[in-house]
Amino acid sequence: MRGKKIRVSILYALVGVVVFFSLAPFLWQVITSIKPSAEIFSRPVRYLPSHIDWSAYLQIFTRHPFGRQIGNSIFIACVSTFLCLAVGALASYAVARFRILGGRSFLLFILLLSLFPPVVLIVPLYEMVRNWGLMNNWLALIIPYAALNLPFTIWVMSSFFKQIPQALEDAAKVDGLSRLGILVRIILPLSAPALATTAILVFIFCWNEFLLALTFMTRDTSRTVPVGIAMLSGASQYEIPWDQISAATVLTTLPLVAFVVLFQRRIIEGLTAGAVKG
């Protein structure tokens, strides 16, 4: 019994060490964001500030269009997620209920598409965006984001749809529901964990994406949060405002962390359900 308690204590200690080292970079960002500027580069290093200075949080909104960039990221991520789920739900239902040439090989091919990095597509996408006059336009990011996340959406949701008994749909057909009605009124409500999982993960991808946003959004007021943080500058080109960068990072990271923690059960349920069968 005593040996078991010791093993459990050691396990908790190891978990605590891993958690600390995982959180250390973010905690350092938080500390840097509230340090006075003079203490950021002080020697020896000051791990705790002499007093809390909130000026960095004020400066990112008064000296830079950071509020507009947050609005851009929220709108682009929300619309891209909604568009991806809307198209993905229809495609996933078709994959789950209709006979498709290739069967499981087709699903594996879809999953393979999601592994392609955006950098492979950057040149043709840039030519399309420029020719269609979409530079600095939200659509330049909304459409690629939805398309890039569509394979993952189809993979997760189709695996979940297959677990829903066919008898429910047969009963709905007897009541006069169409295929679309069955999907909207029966399949989607029963697939809430898969929907929540997909929506959260797609939203996080859209929120954090950097390369396409850097390429297609060249104006400060059109940029998204990751690009806006990377473009933060000080009083001169030789000054790097680490306090403002840290403050912006904290402001954009905390909502995502809270969002994931709040819906972590949904995420686990959706990913587990999609991995068990399909």
CATH of the domain at 188: 1.10.3720.10
Going by C-alpha positions, the residue among 204, 217, 186 that lies closest to residue 252 is: 204
pLDDT given for residue 93 in this prediction:
86
Contact 227, 134 (CB under 8 A): no
> Does 248 fall in a domain?
yes
Q: Total domain count for the chain?
A: 1
Give the mean pLDDT per block of 10 residues along the chain (278 residues): 78 89 86 85 81 88 89 94 92 81 70 77 89 91 92 85 82 81 84 84 90 91 90 70 88 81 70 51
> Does 28 fall in a domain?
no
Structure tokens, 8: 């459990």
> Does 47 fall in a domain?
no
pLDDT given for residue 276 in this prediction:
46
Q: Dihedral angle at the C-alpha atoms of 81, 84, 90, 95, nearest 10 degrees?
A: -120
Contact 273, 159 (CB under 8 A): yes
> Does 164 fall in a domain?
yes
Other Cβ atoms less than 10 A from the Cβ of 257: the count is 10
Structure tokens, 49: 């500030």
pLDDT given for residue 84 in this prediction:
94
Other Cβ atoms less than 10 A from the Cβ of 64: the count is 19
Structure tokens, 63: 């000296």
> Does 176 fall in a domain?
yes
> Does 122 fall in a domain?
yes
Does the bond joining 44 to the residue before it have cis omega, within 30 degrees of 0? Answer: yes
> Does 67 fall in a domain?
yes
Residues 6+ away with beta carbon under 8 Å from 18: none
pTM of the model: 0.83
Q: Which domain holds residue 136?
A: 58-276
Please state, in angstroms and rounded to a whole number, the distance separating the CA atoms of residues 169 and 187: 9
> Does 156 fall in a domain?
yes
pLDDT given for residue 278 in this prediction:
42
